[in-house]
Structure formats: C-alpha cells, structure tokens
Structure 1
Amino acid sequence: MSNTVIVDRDQQLMVVEPRGLDKMWSFTSRLEIPLAHVRGATQDDGAMAAHKGIRGPGLGLPKKFSGTWTLEGEKHFWNVSGPTELVVIELVDEHYARLFLTVADARALVDEINDAVG
C-alpha cells in the first residue's frame, strides 16, 4: 500500500498519511511538516537495498518496512512496500532527517516537492 502525500502551498505544509494497516505497522497516522523544513526529494528505487539501521518501533519484513529506523544517530521514517516508486524526502529541524515513502507516482511527487521548496 502506498502513502498519501499532499503538498499544500497555501498553508506551506506537506502532509504524509500512511494508508491502511501501514498506520498501525508504522505507529504513525499522519506527519505534518512545514515546507520550510523540507530540503528536497529524490526518487531512489535502490534505497530498499541500503542498510537501514536499528528499527524501533515498526515493522521490518522482506520488501516491507514501516516505522522508525535509526542510522548513525539520525531517525528516518520508512513506509515502503517493494523497491519501486520510492521517494526519499530530506528534512531539516524535524524529528526525522529523512522520509522513505512508496507512492503511486514517485516522479510526479518529487517534481511537486522540489518545485514547492525550490
């Protein structure tokens, strides 16, 4: 299942909502991040193969990662199902340093985020 990501330029806010059981597995129902705290986004389908760090809390199964992972002192939020359409969003001054998300159209979301914060 993918995530719903809304980039609201009027309110200068990005909203991430895991869908379905991902809310339970990730222990997260919604993330609201000011656009001023978003550095940018990239599509990185290879991120699934990278070392994720220590999980907690969350779910870690082959091709499914949901929740908080800590790597080299940074907290990352993962809600990824499968290796494709994976977006990495870099943040500053937030609880998470990066968000790793599966979405319906990664390229379109990356362009939308980078255009909004650019």
Structure 2
Amino acid sequence: MALISIDRERNLLIAEMQGLDKLWALKSRLEIPLAHVRGATHDPGIAHEPKGVRVGGTHLPGVITAGRFRRDGEWVFWDVKNPEKTVVVELADEESYDRLVVEVEDPRAAVALIEGALARDA
C-alpha cells in the first residue's frame, strides 16, 4: 500500500510505499512534480489488465503486483494487492513513469487530494 501526500512547499506529489511493499516494489518513495501530474482516478478494473514485462519488482497474479513494468512502450509503476483500492495517477512525458498504479487506504480521498492540488496550481 502507498501513502499519497502533497508537499505544497516543493509542489510535489509523494507516493511512499508502506511496510513490505518497499521490498516488493524495490522502491520506498516516489516524488513527482505536480506540474508533471495530469490527473488521478480510482480504477479497480486496471488490476485485471495485462501488466506487461516486469523490469523490477514482484508479480504474483491475484496476490501482488509491485515494481516497474513496461507495456506497449509505457513505463508503469505498480504497488497493488487489493484492486478495489487502486488509484491511477497519469504523468506527463517528462517523468520516468507514464503512470503510477498504487493501492491506497482511501481511493476517493487520494483522488480528491491530487485533483485538488492540481486545481490549486492551475
């Protein structure tokens, strides 16, 4: 699971992996400039789509998808065990990932936080 926060002083979206997810994803924290975030959605269905090629991390179908994956020319960071809590964050071309697909405690609150930060910066 990831903890999503906004650092308003530095204009960053922060996704911090919690517990053993740091190990499974091979990453403990991602910092993305808000200017590079296009939007966020709650999308439980994405967990059932093909993941692509795992470049680093863990993939046990139906159990956990975590780490860096390449699919159809896109880089996607995953950290999902429970698809019902999945949030997808679309990123601009300047980032190393095209999107983040992460599990959060409260998907609606995470989407509202991200969208609110984007609206404030617009």
- What TM-score comes out, normalization by structure 1 length? 0.95
Residue type matched to 1:76 in 2?
A: V
Q: How many Å apart are 1:18 and its aligned residue?
A: 0.7
Q: How many Å apart are 1:85 and its aligned residue?
A: 1.2
| Structure with greater helix share of residues | 2
Which consecutive residues of structure 2, in runs of 5 or more, have no partner in the other structure?
none
The percent of aligned pairs where both chains have the same amino acid is: 44
Matched, 1:88 2:88: yes
Matched, 1:56 2:82: no
- The number of residue pairs the alignment matches comes to 117
Residue of structure 1 equivalent to 2:113: 112
1:40-61 per-residue CA deviation (whole Å, 9 max, x = no partner) reads 0000011110111111111001
Q: How many Å apart are 1:25 and its aligned residue?
A: 1.2
Structure 1 stretches (4+) deviating beyond 4 angstroms?
none
Q: How many Å apart are 1:17 and its aligned residue?
A: 0.9
Residue of structure 2 equivalent to 1:47: 46
Q: How many Å apart are 1:5 and its aligned residue?
A: 1.1
